[in-house]
Structures are given as structure tokens and as C-alpha cells.
Structure 1
Amino acid sequence: MKEAPQLHQKKVLVLGLAKSGFTAARILNKLGAFVTVNDSKPFEENPEAQELLNMGITVICGRHPEDLLEEGFELVVKNPGIPYSNVLIQAAITKGIPVWTEIELAYLISEAPFIGITGSNGKTTTTTLLFHMLNQDKKHPLIAGNIGTVASGVAEKAKTKNIIVTELSSFQLKGTVAFRPDIAIITNLYEAHLDYHGSVEDYRASKMKLTENQTAEDYFIYNADQSILVEHAKNCKAQLVPFTLKGRTAESSSADDKWVYWQGEKLIERSKIVLAGQHNLENILAATAATMIQGGTKETIIRVLTSFTGVKHRSQFIVEWHGRKFYNDSKATNALATKSALEAFPENIILLAGGLERNHSLEELRPFMNRVKVLVTFGETAQRMTEFASECGVESIEQAGKMDDAVEKAINHSASGDTILLSPACASWDQYDSFEIRGDAFITAVQKMTEANE
């Protein structure tokens, strides 16, 4: 870990704990900063705060005092989930106090270079694919960021031989200043998280910060099928590595209906790739380009693409049973994500969908509902899903309770050759504490019912 002398004896407020705040506070304390932690959870219910207090760190819990910034802080490191509309964050900005996320701290202390991966969709799959490719090629990758491993904690232990493959959200990138990845990847860009960012312009600007500090020594891998990214690339100082799904090119990675190519040469037939879906091709092309830039081999890429079944809860293949294939896409918490899943399968889909009612539009799904043979719907949105599917011409619709009931109904309406797909298009919180728990419930139900009927 680098010493980061610019943080020594600096008075720092860490706002919000969870994993990232706890790790940032511990590292800042180790670097010699004067750290105060402020978290809304009461101290007696807050084991992270208790542990930090035992390290000698000042801890304020249970509330966010509005006069806290009067104590002369020189830096705020905030949990990415805390919006910029927060009173303390607004006060810090007004006072000219820098506001970081722990990604900036990770960059300052890391001995290893970074590959930064962002986009509206596909970040996790691209990050995981790339990690597997580099790992099999013995490039000593470490995985970090929004994928669940705190980047500053990974950077603390990283050595110069490593490369940190980092999934980054717009929330995390907005709080960076000097962060500069050797390789930046933007998979795609759509409208998202406007409740947090306030405008599509702020959301896009936050994403584009990924390339802001890159130089001619670095690489920018981007989706050349999106005009907004093509325009952004014109102002980027890094070496440009575009990828496209619109046919073979000699520039980088590309794909047509039958093949994936690297610099115009055939790499792998699409029919041999285990990971399903047109949307996943973007992730494959991005990961392929980064692997080749890092000196990886085509043989390794092919080996990974013929074995990688997907990230858990993201179009994850579960099992084939009596000619039926089961996929867990519980991470699809909005219509756009479910649209991508439906695009992956041309016909005979038995779709399990529904969940928390947020009154989001379902119109993204309409062009693909003719692929749905049966809809099994559940949760608060069940009735609206039923009405929408009926409008779209889906003839067989079932309403279910929780996941066991939904899977049972799906199996009862299925036949050999069908795809049984959990892709809810809704958040999980009406019935499950997280999309992960919902996805696990689906996997358990599928395993129980298929094993019982062998």
C-alpha cells in the first residue's frame, strides 16, 4: 500500500458506514488521518462503529448533526449510496470541502494499476468474465468495486504484479478526482438512476469521469454502436478500442450473426458460447478486448467463453430438465433489464415476473412479449403485469404466491424445448429482502421440483 502523504494528519469525515465506509475509515486512520465517522444507525446496533471506536476513531452514531461540518473537516468520504441532496453533503460542497467516494482512496493507495468497468447494463458480467480470462492467463487479477468487494480494501493488499478489475457505478465515479484506470470500459449507456443524479446529464457526466484523467498511455474500450459513446471518444485522450455487434471489423473485437472476431480474424463461433443473449455479446467483446490488450491469449478467451454460465442472478443458467432450460435473472429489477433477457431467447419463454410496485412503465417489454408462451406473475405488480401481458396477446397467464408456487405453475405449463426464465422487471422488496434472496428462492424451488420429478 502506498503511503498517500497528502492524507497524513488531514481531518476527514467518513459519512455512512456499511462495508465501504468501514474500510475507508480504517485505512484513513492507518494512513495517519484524523478520522470521524458519522452513521445513522444507533451505536448499540452498529458493530462496525464499535470496532472503529476501539481503534481510536471518533464515532458519531444515530443521527447526522447539521453542525458537524463546523469542526473543520478538510475532506468528506461518503458512502456511494448517500445522495448529493443530503444536508451534510450539500453543506460540504458549499464550503468547498472535497467529497470523495472510497474509489478515490483506493486509487491513491494502490500499488497495482486499475481496469475500470462501467455502463448502464453488463458491468458485473463484464467484470467477472474479464477476471476469469486474466486469471486463467495468470495475469494476477484482483476483483473489486461495485461487485461486492470494497476497492480500497483490495488496493490496500495489492502488489505491482496485480491488476485490479473494478466494477464502478455512477454513484462511485461521481466522487472521484484523480482516479485514472489504465483501461477504461463503458459497455453501454442508457437513462438510469435519475432519482439520485437529478438529470440524465449528471448521470452521463458521472459515468464519463471514468476516462477523464486518461492519457495516451491508457486505453478506452467502448461500445461503438452507441452514438453518445462515439462522440465521447472523440474527446478522450486514451487509445481508442471500439467494439461493435454490427459485423466484422479490423479495429478490435466485433461480432456478426455467426462469429466473434478479434481484429478481423475469427475467434469463436457464437453457437459455442455458453452465455446466452445478444446483450451479453457486448460484455464478451469488451472483456475480449481488455484481455488481448493485457497480453492474454485467444485460447484462454475461447476456454472461458465455452464454460462461463453467467454471474449469479444475471441470466444465470441453472439446469436443463426434460428438455426445459431454467435461467435465473433475478437482478432484472426494471423493464429494460427484462427486455434484454427476453431478447436472448427467441421463443417458447415461460416468464416469471413481478414484484414491488413502483409504477414503472412496462412498455420496453411490449416488442418481445410475443416470445412469451406463458406468464407467471407474483407480488404487488401481479395484476398490472396480467393486464399488460393480456394487452400484448399472451394467452396463458397465471398469478402465483411466492416462488415455490410460481415455479410449480411454470413447470406445469411447460414442455420440452421451453425456457423457464425468472426475470421480474421489478424490485424484490415486497416479498424478499433483496434480489439475491429472490434468486436463491428460485434456484431452491427449481432444484426441489426437478429432483422430485426425476
Structure 2
Amino acid sequence: MKKLNDFPFSHALVLGLAKSGTAAAKVLLANDKKVRVNDRNATKEDEVVMQLQALGAEVIVGEHPLEVLDDIEIIVKNPGIPYENPIIVEAERRNIPIITEIEIAYSLVEGSIIGITGSNGKTTTTTLVTEMLEKSNQPVKVAGNIGIVAIDAAQSLKKEETLVLELSSFQLLGINKFRPKIAVLLNIFEAHLDYHKTMEHYVQAKCNIFKQQTSDDYLVYNADDPVITDAVRHAKALLIPFSTKRNLENGAWIDDEWIYFKDEKVMKLNEVVLVGDHNIENILAAVAAAKLDGATNEGIRKVLTTFSGVKHRLQYIDTIDGRLFYNDSKATNLLATQKALTAFKQPTILLAGGLDRGNEFTDLLPYLSSVKAMVLFGQTKGKLQELGHQAGIETMELVENVDEAVKKAYAISNAGDVILLSPSCASWDQYRTFEERGDMFIQAVHKLV
């Protein structure tokens, strides 16, 4: 197991297990650190608890007693645990540093890191960058918020390999030294305010991705996003903009025919198979990051002429009796659904609803012109029904879950319609994850055949 670089702490508290906490605890123990693990939802009989105890960790489960902070020098926090947690509040009062496992992963990496964040498009862009490098015969691994724990990828990463990381604002709050060679900032809009409380705090979390960069590094950023263009004025890295609206001599851009990087034609725009105007932004960001890390135009072209989407992100599922089914379960906020709706000109049946975070949906109104019907579920179905009334949509159906929504949508559809799952809400009122919700949609579609 690799040794940690520049980690001057001897006693760590790992707060929250799951995959990232377990990986962090194992690395710390292997580096002869004293480790205490605390997870309120775990039990003494859990396999991972017994495993960590056998490795020498002190494990406290079933509660969050303040005593877990005694003699602790640093906390490795699960990204999902809010900062209002009493343990975190007390730790901050005691000036105990709080990090996420991304910081530990960074201490294990010898090669280059590409870090990618944004309110939307992270997974698509991360996947594109990784595949562009692979198709260009560049050694690469992918991890982070995309499902593979960064520490696990860092453990086996060779010096010549690039680590591509998808990073959430939750993860970026817990970094101090993390410094990607290439940072990518896709977009920033109002999201996760139940966690961050204010837009200012959310923006600061996202901008942590370039906080430690120097003039030897690159920052790929969305030149069409005013929040981002304001924020990157303070960056020390070399700025590499991307834009769908204007020519850029020093970045990635498009005209009516071509995708460019700086003054070089990369490939023809009409060869791209990924649908959605918003995905052009993701593509430009990916082209810039990949080119900076050695990708070839041919490698990029191989990806963009075949890549049709990431699972649960405007993913084409099937065409049944002339109806086109798309799974956009990852659309957990308004902007994601707005972008999904702009991808289609055909009559669309929108399947939406989920966790009620207290927000309204009126910002969707201008995007509903092609929506002929709505099938609604979850805590927000009443709010979305009211939105449908405001938009003049005559056909609206209220159902209990995604499985019923697919059956109802198919029953009221015609050949040529798009049936789109784009919930505009988090899944946690009914499903553990957006992936689980999307999988139910896929299964329900396949049952129609």
C-alpha cells in the first residue's frame, strides 16, 4: 500500500463509513496512524466494522458522542454529513481540521490530476475526458463522485497515469492542499442550498477546486457563465475558457461547422452524436482538458462520434411503437431538467417529481412549450401539477412511483413522442439514489416490450 505524503497527523477520526470512510480508515491504518471511526448508522455486527477493528481501528457505532473528539488531531468527514452535525460544530470550535477523503487521495498521487466540478454535467464531462485520453493511448484512471473512491484509484495509480476526478461541492469543502494540474469548472447555479445555506458558500465550495493551483496549472472554465467568469479572476492558474457563443483564441469553441481548440479544427460539429445543446458545453470543456493532457484529435473524434450519453443522464433507452424513451434521472434540479427539455423538438411527455426541498418550479415554465403531458410522482407532484396548469398543459397524471409513471405515459402517448424521465428533484423521498430511480425507469420501459 502506498505511503501518505505530507500528512503530519497521528490520530484521526473517520466520521461516517460508507465506501470513502472505509477506504480512508484503511489507508490511515496502513500508514501507522491511530484511527477512530464513528458511524451512527452502523452496527457492531457489520462486516466492515469488524474488519476495521481487526486492522486496529477503534470503532464507535450507533451514536455520535462528543467524546469521539478526545485526543483527535484531524477529522476525515463523509461528504454527505452536514456541517451542522454536533461533532463537526464542536470540532470547529476546537480548531480541529476537517477534510474529506479527496485530500487523502491527493497525498497518495504522484502523477497528474484532472479535477472536474460544476452544478451539472460533471459525470458526462468526466467520462468524456477519460475516454478521450484512453482513445489517444494516454494512461488514465477515473474516480471521485463518479462511483469509484478516489483513494482506491490513487492506491494503484502509476506515476505516468492521469487521475480524472469528478468532484462535488461537498467533497471540495474538505480540501486544504488538493491541487489538480487541470481544474475544470463547468457551471454554477443555485443548488444544494439545504446543505450550503447560501449561494455565496456554494460558490466558494466549487471554487476551492482552483484554490491551491499555481501558474504551472490550468483552469478550464465556462466563459459564458457570469458567476464563474467573476470567480476565476482570482485564480493563479493559466485560464483556458470555453464558449458556445464566441470565438476564443486561447480556449475551446464552436462555429456552425467545427469544434475548435484555440485555432485548431478538432472535428466537425455534425459528427457529434450526443444530444442536447448543454452537452456541447460539456464537450468543449472535455476537449480542452483532454487536449491539455495530451489527447489527439483522432482520439477525441473516436469518442464523440460514438458516445451517446452516460447512464441516467439523458440516456436513450429504447424506441417502442415509435415512442422514444430517455432516462435523465440524474436531473435532480431545475437547470438539469431545463437542459433536457431543450434537447427535444418532438412532443414530449415529462415524468417528474421527487423530494420537496421547498423550492418552486416556475423557472421551468419557458421550457415546457413542447411538453404535451406531465406524469407526476413524489412529494412535489402537487407543485408540479400547479406548474402544468400555469403552462396550459391539459393532460396531467398523478401516480405513486416511476414504474406507474412509465405505464401511464405510454398509455397516453402517440408514435413520435418522447417520453422523458427528468425529475427536477432529488430521489430521496422514495428512492435511495437517483441511480435506483433511473434503474426502475429502465426496467419499466423494458417491461413494455
TM range, normalised to the smaller chain? over 0.9
Match of 2:152 in 1: 153
Alpha carbons of structure 1 residues 117 and 9: separation in structure 2 relative to 1, 3 Å? closer
User: 2: distance between equivalents of 1:236 and 1:384?
Assistant: 41
Change (3 A) 1:95 1:378: closer
Aligned with 1:234: secondary structure?
A: helix
- 1:295 counterpart residue number: 294
SS of equivalent residue, structure 1 residue 43: coil
Determine the C-alpha separation between the residues in 2 that align with 1:5 and 1:37.
22
Structure 1 residues 428 and 234 mapped into 2: Cα distance closer, same or farther (>3 Å)?
A: closer
Deviations 1:4-56 (A, max 9, x none): 36447711111111111110000001111111111112433532222100111
Q: Distance in 2 between matches of 1:270 and 1:352?
A: 30
Matched, 1:327 2:326: yes
Aligned-pair distance for 1:428?
Answer: 2.6
The DSSP-based 3-state class of the residue aligned with 1:338 is helix
Corresponding residue of 2:371: 372
1:37 match: 37
The 5 Å alignment of 1:19-34 reads 19-34=19-34
* Residues 1:54 and 2:54 are matched in the alignment: yes
**Which deviates more, 94-103 or 190-199?**
190-199
In 2, are the aligned partners of 1:7 and 1:33 still within 8 Å (CA)? Answer: no
CA contact (8 A) 1:9 1:32 kept: no
SS at match of 1:147: coil
| Pairing of 1:260-339 with structure 2 (within 5 A) | 260-339=259-338
- Counterpart contact for 2:82–2:195, Cα < 8 Å: yes
* Consecutive unaligned residues in structure 2, runs of 5 or more: none
Q: Distance in 2 between matches of 1:39 and 1:408?
A: 40
Contact 1:221 1:290 in 2 (8 A): yes
Is the deviation greater in 423-432 or in 11-20? 423-432
Whether the aligned pair in 2 keeps the contact of 1:267 and 1:298 (CA below 8 Å) is yes
Deviations 1:103-128 (A, max 9, x none): 11111111222110011111111111
Distance, in Å, in 1 between the alignment partners of 2:210 and 2:6 is 23
> Larger deviation: 266-275 or 431-440?
266-275
Shift of 1:310: 1.0
**Partner deviation per Cα, 1:81-139 (whole Å, 9 max, x = no partner):** 11122222122222222111111111111122211001111111111111111111121
Deviation at 1:271, TM superposition (A): 3.4
| Structure 2 counterpart SS, 1:428 | coil
* Structure 2 residue 197 is the aligned partner of structure 1 residue 186: no
2:175 maps to: 176
Secondary structure of the residue aligned to 1:67 is helix
1:267–1:4 Cα change, 3 Å: closer
Q: How far is 1:235 from its partner?
A: 2.1
Kindly tell me: are residues 47 and 306 of structure 1, through their superposed partners in 2, closer, same or farther at Cα, counting changes over 3 Å? same
CA contact (8 A) 2:361 2:383 kept: no
Give 1:423 deviation, angstroms.
Answer: 0.6
2 CA distance for matches of 1:386 and 1:42? Answer: 39
Letter of the aligned partner of 2:31 in structure 1? L
- What's the TM-score once normalised by structure 1's chain length? 0.94
Aligned residues: 449
1:107 matched to which residue of 2? 106
Q: Is the 8 A contact 1:112 1:155 kept in 2?
A: no
Deviation of 1:416 after TM superposition, in Å, equals: 3.3
Q: Are the aligned partners of 1:7 and 1:31 in contact in 2 as well (CA < 8 Å)?
A: no
- Kindly indicate whether residue 209 of structure 2 is the aligned counterpart of residue 210 of structure 1: yes
Amino acid at match of 2:417: D
Cα offset for 1:234?
Answer: 2.4
- 8 Å contact from structure 1 (residues 356, 380) kept in 2: yes
Contact 1:373/1:394 (8 A) holds in 2: yes
Q: Is the 8 A contact 1:173 1:210 kept in 2?
A: yes
Find the residue that maps to 1:126 and give its secondary structure: helix
Q: Which amino acid aligns with 1:76?
A: I
Distance 1:372 1:257, change over 3 A: farther
Aligned to 2:162: 163
Distance 2:91 2:296 in 1: 48
CA 1:184–1:396 in structure 2 vs 1: closer, same or farther (change >3 Å)?
same
Distance between the aligned counterparts of 2:154 and 2:166, measured in 1? 14
Rounded to whole Å, the distance in 2 between the matches of 1:109 and 1:183 is 17
Deviating 4+ runs (over 4 angstroms):
none
Deviation at 1:292, TM superposition (A): 0.9
Q: CA deviation at 1:176?
A: 0.6
**Secondary structure of the residue that 2:110 maps to in structure 1?**
coil
Say if 1:275 and 1:308, in contact at 8 Å, map to a contact too: yes
RMSD, matched Cα: 1.9
Taking the aligned partners of 1:276 and 1:426, their CA distance within structure 2 comes to 22
State how far apart, in whole Å, the 1-side matches of 2:192 and 2:426 are.
14
- 1:120-179 CA deviation, whole Å, 9 max, x = no partner? 111111111111111111211111111111111111111102111001111111111111
Identity of aligned residues (%): 48
Contact 1:350–1:420 under 8 Å retained in 2:
yes
Aligned residue identity for 2:313? R
Q: Could you tell me which residue of structure 2 aligns to residue 390 of structure 1? A: 389
Distance 1:5 1:245, change over 3 A: closer
> Which residue number corresponds to residue 84 of structure 1?
83
Question: What's the counterpart of residue 10 of structure 1?
Answer: 10
